[in-house]
Chain A
Amino acid sequence: MSATKRIYMDHSSGKPVDERVVEAMLPYMQKSYGNPSSLHGMGQEARKALDEARAKIAELINAEKKETIVFTSGATESNNLAIKGVAYRNKDKGTRILASRIEHMSVINSCKYLTTKGFETLFLPVDSYGFLDLEALEEKLAENTVLVSVAYANGEIGTIQSIGEISKIVHSRKAYLHVDATAACGQIPIDVKIEGIDLLTISSNDMYGPKGTGALYVKDGTRLEPLLHGGGQEKGLRSGTENIPAIVGFGKAAELTKKEMPTRAEHLTRLRDKLIKGLLEAAPYSFLNGHPTRRLPDNVSVRYSFIEGESMLLSLEMEGVFASSGSACTAKTLEPSHVLLAIGLKHEEAHGSLMFTLGKQSTEEEVNHVVAVMPSIVKRLRAMSPLTPKELVD
């Protein structure tokens, strides 16, 4: 395989937009460009497109009605709206907020921000697979807890939580449950009614829709304060003219995802398991991060002892492979991934982690290529490392 070939295995960072989605969006750029708030025909055309997209997203998560879907600019805004919105609106009920230690930074930093506004935030531990510690949840769930925020599945290590169980505990104390489903939605079935979810974050691009749009499911009766004030769009929860082309694309992506989810999941799971097996066989002292089966179909997270993630990524890129790492050296901060530390990895183990996220266009040939190049990459870097035991070096 030539070095110019691009094997993209970083789908959790960004996905290509499905061709059928692009096609659905195009008329709303130059033909149907009305504002859904306008009463005239052009406006009503846009209103209709907006409502249809809303219905498709509601259907994907089995929401009780389409009006529970609030469009936002993406998962980060949805997480901010859920957490700050509930906190501000329910201050009379209580000021404690709980979240797991492996949440996305948009959840963690929203919670941390609230501590500067008179709220108390506690971050709950997880076990070595990344499953939430349910005893800690029960213990910290005091009378004054208004919100618990837990991701449906973790975007870095793929671990899928038992949301139904978590929901029962949270609701036994009358707190709201917010679930960040950015990584999970579209990969595995989610049912907000059966699972008892009050607020659910959904991202468009994670379902092969355009970037820059997302949604927050808000169960009927959930008390929420808006972050953006203005013309009162989205039932007053998110002012600002709706991004119709992106929302139409998001709706189309949700429709396709609902239809194709089983096929995609089967394809991804097969490639995932093949890649995990190949990467663990590539070298001794290699380990899987997260759970072997209760994990997202697209997620492969492994670590190799004695070497560092970024140097593995650079080496992979020299072979045409684009992946991601849990090492500090690939981020803006110097700390390794908070998720890998929370599941109990030592700093040097977290630094040696690699993440591959597959997409619906990924192929077996691509997986074979990654598996084929990995042994020599690990061997070369281990030969350079002062941490490598003598018996591993020729």
Chain B
Amino acid sequence: MYTEKVMDHFKNPRNMGEIPDADGVGTVGNPVCGDLMTIYIKVKDNRLIDIKFKTFGCGSAIATSSMITELAKGKTLEEAMKITRGDVADSLGGLPPVKMHCSNLAADALHAAIEDYYKRRGEEVKK
């Protein structure tokens, strides 16, 4: 059902955990639907110098969370805002169709964390 890449990220998730003094935090999803993700970011000179995740959900929810941290780490905030759900799924070698909407929320969580960062600084979101 899942690609080897998805299973690799599920078995060995990258950047799992919390950042206690995060500069931005984004949470999306709902436990009622079976998926809830939180992304924590640390920003320096407009770049994501650290990023971590915590996820309640199915295999693809965990794999997409792990993958987004790899895709976003080191990117500028503007670059990170351009990462889409499709990019995450493509980087994992695809997701089963039924999972494309319900469990592919990692990009949304990342964007929410960046928006939170701007909000904390009283700045407009730059896209």
Contacts and interface: CB of A to CB of B under 8 A. Distances in A.
A360 interface: no
B56 A329 contact: no
B117 interface: no
Interface stretch (A151-159, A184-192, A381-389): A381-389
A314 B55 CA distance: 15
What does DSSP make chain B's interface, helix, strand, loop or mixed? mixed
A347 B16 contact: no
Contacts of A130: none
A226 to B, nearest CB: 36
Interface residues of A, number: 24
Contacts of A330: 58
A245 interface: no
A261 to B, nearest CB: 36
Contact of A311 (B10, B31, B54, B99): B10
A384 B59 contact: no
B82 interface: no
Interface size class of B (residues with CB under 8 A): 20 to 34
A368 B99 CA distance: 33
B34 A306 contact: no
Contacts of B74: none
B108 to A, nearest CB: 15
Nearest to B56: A385
A310 interface: yes
Nearest to B31: A348
A308 B34 contact: yes
Contacts of B60: 329
Contacts of A332: 98
Contacts of B94: none
Interface in A314-372: 314, 318, 327-330, 332, 334, 336, 346-348, 351
Interface of A: 306-311, 314, 318, 327-330, 332, 334, 336, 346-348, 351, 383-387
22 contacts: A308-B35, A308-B56, A308-B61, A310-B59, A311-B59, A327-B34, A329-B59, A329-B102, A334-B33, A334-B98, A347-B31, A347-B33, A347-B34, A348-B31, A348-B32, A384-B13, A384-B62, A385-B56, A386-B36, A386-B54, A386-B56, A387-B31
